[in-house]
Amino acid sequence: MINLDENTITQAVIDSHANASNPRLQEIMTSLVRHLHAFARDVDLTEAEWKIAIDFLTAVGQKCSTTRQEFILLSDTLGLSTLVTAQNHRHPPGHTEATVFGPFHVPDAPEYQLGDDIAQGMAGKPCFVQGAIRTIDGTPIAAARIEVWQADAEGFYDVQRPELKGHQGRGVLRSDAEGRFRFKTVLPECYPIPHDGPVGQMLERLGRHPWRPAHLHFMIEAAGYKSLVTHVFRSDDRYLESDAVFGVRSSLVAEWKKNPAGAGPDGTAYTDGYYTLDFDFVLEPG
C-alpha cells in the first residue's frame, strides 16, 4: 500500500478489511469507506473544509453529558434516526407506527398505578390520557409495560432542570386485564430541541428552526410482541409539517380535547377546564 492516489486509495482501504473477525462489521465498514470517499469526491472536499468537519464532530462529542446527547440530536436533525427507525420497523398496515427515540429518555423511571399523576408537579395545564394496548384484531394485551415521558409547559424535560430532586413527567404503568391504561399529566407543548451547541449552530447556518411539535413519548413492551417506541402528537400544533427531527407520522397525530370547567375524570374541580386524550396502540406479534 504505497504510492496511493485519489483513484486507488478507496480500494486499498477496503482491502485492508480482509481479515476482519466479524463479517457484519466488515460489510458496514467497507460500505462506509466507499460512501465517505464518494462524498469527498462528489463535493471536491478541501482540507480546510475537512478540518472544520473534524472540529464540528469534536464539539458534538464534547457537548455530550449524562443528561445531554448531542450525537442523538445530530442523528435526529439529519434524518438518520428516522431512516433507521423506518427501516427497522416496517409494520404491516394497521399497526401503530414507530418514530424516533429522542435524547431525553432515562432509565429507572418511577412506576405508577393506573390513574396516577405522572406529572408530579410539572408545570402545565391538566391533562388526562387513556387508551388501550391491543392486537390488530382488537384482542386486548394485558400487563403491557407502558413507559411515558414528556416536556413541561416551557418545553423542558425534567432532566434539563438540575434543581429537581425527582422525576417529573415520566413514569411506567401496566395495562389492565382489558388492555386499558390511564394516567394524569399536563398538556404537552411544542419546544425547541437544545440548540445552544454545535447542532444548533448547524441548523442556524442551514436556515432551519429547532422546534418540535408537541407530543408524548411512549415505549410499550409486552411478552410475545415487538417493542414499540413512538410519539402521539397534538393535531393543532404549528410545527407538524416542519418537525426539526422529521418524526411526525399522520397516524400518530391526535386531538387533545379541551373540556370546560368542571369535574375532571379524577373527580377534581378544574375551574379553567382540562384536556383529554384517548389513543389506542396496536402491537405487532414477534
Q: For residues 158 and 96, is the Cβ–Cβ distance under 8 A? A: no
- The answer to the question of residue 268 being in a domain is yes
Residues 104-121 have a mean pLDDT of: 95
The predicted-structure confidence for 155-211, as pLDDT tens digits, reads as follows 999 999 989 989 999 999 999 999 999 999 999 999 999 999 999 999 999 999 999
Looking at the fold, whether 17 and 136 belong to one and the same domain comes out as: no
Looking at the fold, whether 106 and 206 belong to one and the same domain comes out as: yes
Torsion of CA 116, 118, 124, 127, to 10 degrees: -40
Radius of gyration over alpha carbons of the chain, in Å? 23
Residue 266 pLDDT greater than 70, yes or no: yes
Least confident of 40-54, 90-104, 229-243: 90-104
* Backbone φ and ψ of 234, nearest 5°: -75, 130
Looking at the fold, whether 37 and 179 belong to one and the same domain comes out as: no
Residue 218 pLDDT greater than 80, yes or no: yes
Share of the chain above pLDDT 70, in %: 100
Q: How far apart are CA 214 and CA 243, in angstroms?
A: 10
Q: How far apart are CA 112 and CA 76, in angstroms?
A: 30
Looking at the fold, whether 93 and 36 belong to one and the same domain comes out as: no
Cα distances (angstroms) measured from residue 54 to each of 57, 58, 173, 236, 269: 5, 6, 43, 40, 57
Looking at the fold, whether 29 and 85 belong to one and the same domain comes out as: no
Specify the pLDDT at position 102.
Answer: 85
What is the value of pTM for the model shown?
Answer: 0.91
Residues 277-281 have a mean pLDDT of: 98
Question: What domain range is 225 assigned to?
Answer: 75-282
Looking at the fold, whether 114 and 39 belong to one and the same domain comes out as: no
- The answer to the question of residue 34 being in a domain is yes
Looking at the fold, whether 135 and 192 belong to one and the same domain comes out as: yes
- The answer to the question of residue 59 being in a domain is no
Identify the band that residue 146 occupies on the pLDDT scale cut at 50, 70 and 90: very high
- The answer to the question of residue 52 being in a domain is no
Mean pLDDT of the chain: 96
63 vs 68, which has greater pLDDT? 63
- The answer to the question of residue 234 being in a domain is yes
Specify the pLDDT at position 103.
Answer: 84
- The answer to the question of residue 4 being in a domain is no
Residue 164's CB is within 10 A of a number of other CB atoms, namely 14
Counting DSSP H helices and E strands in the chain, the numbers are 6, 14
Looking at the fold, whether 142 and 255 belong to one and the same domain comes out as: yes
- Total number of domains constituting the chain: 2
- The answer to the question of residue 54 being in a domain is no
Specify the pLDDT at position 47.
Answer: 98
CATH number at residue 270: 2.60.130.10
* Backbone φ and ψ of 206, nearest 5°: -90, 0
Residue 40 pLDDT greater than 80, yes or no: yes
Looking at the fold, whether 148 and 35 belong to one and the same domain comes out as: no
SS3 88: helix
Residues 246-269 have a mean pLDDT of: 97
Specify the pLDDT at position 67.
Answer: 77
Specify the pLDDT at position 68.
Answer: 85
Residue 1 pLDDT greater than 70, yes or no: no
Specify the pLDDT at position 2.
Answer: 84
